[in-house]
Structure 1
Amino acid sequence: MTNTLLDITIIIPNYNTRELLKQCLTSIYDYTQGITFEVICIDDNSSDGSADMVAAEFPKVILVRNTSGQLYAKNNNLGMRMSRARYACLLNSDTRLIANAFQSLVEFMDKHPDAAACTPRLLNPDGTTQMCVRRFARMGTLILQGLNWHKLFPNGVVSTNYYASNFDHSREQLIEALGSTAFVIRRTTWEQAGMLDERFPLFQVDLAYCYMLKIKDYKIYYTPCADIIHFGSQSVNQKATASIRMQHQGFIDFSDHYDYFSSNPLTKFLIRQAVRLRYWLKLAEFHLSKDKRVIKGPGRAPITRSS
């Protein structure tokens, strides 16, 4: 049966990013060659005509039309269950290929049989490297992160211990965690270790999955063998306040479900209260700021109030 599998399935969940999705799909078919692949697009009940555009302009794409919002984890898990390939790439719709990235990623995984998963180098639209790698930080670091310590001290402990600001993006290496913008997973990984944790419908699902792989001794690699442009958080920014709430609930769920900081009930209670305080601070910051992005990063254009 293995000989009949395709090389890679590209799974693209989409919610109201019609033009970005079109650009993403166009770049996949323009650049991808030398491998066998399929594209599964799971439209999460968009209202902007995304699904009709895919059906009309990309007939090779396997299109799933959700009649209600299922969110990120369920949509990607559906894609993995549908996959007919040796690898699956969980790809955001707000990405664009600039070269034959998927052939390079398939070749990388073939050469590294110990790799459960990998991620390529992500670029901001201006061509600078996007910080996609994360480290599993301890409680003190995350408290400082919630207080925006990294903005006051860009080279401080939060930047290095959580955002991995000193990470060398020019060399291949093992990593602890990553954002799942372009996350290539080996079939045996999702079949044996499991798929995304659907208790995290949107936020922190990538953190939870990487942590699950870590405690099961699976290896995740970063590789600069391929570059993909990422415009960043285009779906979540559409419902910003709801996204901020879900983002913080994800932190609470991660602490509760994975005993990340402690299994002690009192410690978990204090963490929940701290995260809720952080939520109200972030919500106030959002309403007071002109920049209306939920997730910010260098090279990403701000979303501002309408005049």
Structure 2
Amino acid sequence: MKLSVVILNYNVRYFLELCLRSVEQAIKTIEAEIIVVDNNSSDDSCIMVKELFPEVKLIENKENYGFSKGNNIGVAMAKGEYLCILNPDTVVAEDTFSKILNFAELQTNLGIIGCQLIDGRGVFLPESKRHIPTPSVAFQKLIGNSKNYYQNDLTPDQVGKTEILVGAFMIMKRNVYKEVNGFDEDYFMYGEDVDLSYKVLKAGYSNYYYGETSVIHFKGESTLKDKIYAKRFYGAMEVFYQKHFKKNVLVSILVKIILGLASLRSPIKNTQAIKTNKVLVISETTDGKLIHKVKKPIDFTSNIKSIPYQTEIVLDTEFLSYKTIINVLKTYNTSNQNTYRMWVKNSNFMLGSDTSSGRGEIVRF
């Protein structure tokens, strides 16, 4: 088997369904399997997977084991030569896996491959490619200088070596994952992707950023920027520094002070709500349920070439390919002050997110 896609889920049932629908399309020409690990969700995620995706291998944990252990459990069941660690709040294009696997086959000494991640409005997420967050780099970022934190010498559309990749989307050979002992289970949530990327580098492999394919990462579903997030994130980074940069007592004290100050900072606030005047549905048909649910003027069109200003754009996932939807978001992103929702007609819901720091919106019909 070529590829195992491992998706760790926790209480994001509708985002998981959309993710699985996109992954199914992306593995049609690949010998692949999908493994969903559920960390004891209280919603009906597991019921949904069993009913709508019977071919998916579902692991139902009886408690929330966190990101690292949950993914390690999924990888233990995997049979693929390659692994894809994938967040449930993502949408992949139909050719995402095939393009990256073709690239992977041409590399020697391959570590981890990441790709271009965009948020729910098509805005590039700079954490897609990062440098090693040494204590000095972390301190620079803390005071507002991110120059050495993100890898800015690679543009979002380029391909090249990088150091740190994000756990929302990682592809690597299963034997490399096992060689470095996978995700370190000392991390419950946050920091484990930095740790894994760094362990792979230290083992002598090269990590790559592949910007020629894009994946939507709604992000706010898994990384809500609140006080709990700040405490967990900076706590995880302290674990990382203690493991990899513990040189002497003074360095340890300095790191503890830096992370302590960082954790006291106010969490990232959601951006101001975007006000849209009307709704434009890109589909080949009209729909009475949608018209009834939406409280704004609504139009239907099958033309994606002219996107109006300050409009909520509803994208029919049965009419448009996932690659087309991703390209629409990337093309227009914030320039038209639009918001975007993906409409899954068969399941009578649509969802989207207007900010990468807050929860998305789910509308059920």
Instruction: Please give the range of the TM-score, normalised by the shorter of the 2 chains.
Output: 0.7 to 0.9
- State the alpha-carbon separation in 1 of the partners of residues 69 and 194 from structure 2: 16
Displacement of 1:166 in angstroms is 4.1
Query: Please, which moves more after superposition, 112-121 or 57-66?
Result: 112-121
Displacement of 1:278 in angstroms is 1.7
- Alignment map for 1:283-294 (pairs within 5 Å): 285-286=266-267, 289=269
Matching residue of 1:19: 14
Task: Report if the CA contact (8 A) 2:220-2:358 is conserved.
Answer: no
Is the counterpart of residue 174 in structure 1 residue 157 in structure 2? no
Displacement of 1:137 in angstroms is 4.0
- State the alpha-carbon separation in 2 of the partners of residues 236 and 128 from structure 1: 16
Matching residue of 1:255: 241
Matching residue of 1:31: 26
SS of the aligned residue for 2:81 comes to strand
Q: Whose helix proportion is higher, 1 or 2?
A: 1
Task: Report if the CA contact (8 A) 2:111-2:172 is conserved.
Answer: yes
Amino acid at match of 1:286: P
SS of the aligned residue for 1:279 comes to helix
Amino acid at match of 2:97: F
Q: Deviations over 1:231-286 (max 9, x none)?
A: 1141332x933222111111111111112xx4102220231122112212x2xx13
Bigger radius of gyration: 2
Matching residue of 1:110: 105
- State the alpha-carbon separation in 1 of the partners of residues 103 and 255 from structure 2: 39
- State the alpha-carbon separation in 1 of the partners of residues 176 and 70 from structure 2: 18
Amino acid at match of 2:151: A
SS of the aligned residue for 2:267 comes to helix
- Alignment map for 1:1-307 (pairs within 5 Å): 6-131=1-126, 132-147=128-143, 149=144, 158-237=145-224, 240-259=226-245, 262-280=246-264, 282=265, 285-286=266-267, 289=269, 301=355, 302-303=357-358
Displacement of 1:165 in angstroms is 3.5
SS of the aligned residue for 2:226 comes to helix
- State the alpha-carbon separation in 2 of the partners of residues 88 and 31 from structure 1: 14
Task: Report if the CA contact (8 A) 2:37-2:58 is conserved.
Answer: yes
Task: Report if the CA contact (8 A) 2:157-2:212 is conserved.
Answer: no
Amino acid at match of 1:303: G
Displacement of 1:291 in angstroms is 5.5
For structure 2, which runs of at least 5 residues remain unmatched after alignment?
273-332, 335-353, 360-365
- State the alpha-carbon separation in 2 of the partners of residues 35 and 113 from structure 1: 22
Q: Which runs of 4+ in 1 moved over 6 A?
A: none
Task: Report if the CA contact (8 A) 1:32-1:101 is conserved.
Answer: no
Task: Report if the CA contact (8 A) 1:159-1:165 is conserved.
Answer: no
- State the alpha-carbon separation in 2 of the partners of residues 191 and 257 from structure 1: 19
Q: Deviations over 1:194-222 (max 9, x none)?
A: 21111112111111111111222111111
Q: Deviations over 1:84-122 (max 9, x none)?
A: 110000000010123221122222212223212211222
Task: Report if the CA contact (8 A) 1:121-1:224 is conserved.
Answer: yes
**Identical aligned residues as a percent:** 23
Matching residue of 1:152: none
Task: Report if the CA contact (8 A) 1:92-1:182 is conserved.
Answer: yes
- State the alpha-carbon separation in 2 of the partners of residues 303 and 84 from structure 1: 35
Q: Deviations over 1:120-168 (max 9, x none)?
A: 2222222333221111244333223223x1xxxxxxxx33210223432
- State the alpha-carbon separation in 2 of the partners of residues 94 and 139 from structure 1: 30
SS of the aligned residue for 2:58 comes to strand
Query: Please, which moves more after superposition, 172-181 or 191-200?
Result: 191-200
Query: Please, which moves more after superposition, 116-125 or 57-66?
Result: 116-125
SS of the aligned residue for 1:88 comes to strand
Higher relative CO (Cα under 8 Å, sequence separation at least 6) belongs to 1
Query: Please, which moves more after superposition, 49-58 or 85-94?
Result: 49-58
Query: Please, which moves more after superposition, 86-95 or 169-178?
Result: 169-178
Displacement of 1:83 in angstroms is 0.6
- State the alpha-carbon separation in 1 of the partners of residues 152 and 161 from structure 2: 16
Could you state the TM-score of these two structures normalised by the residue count of structure 1?
A: 0.84
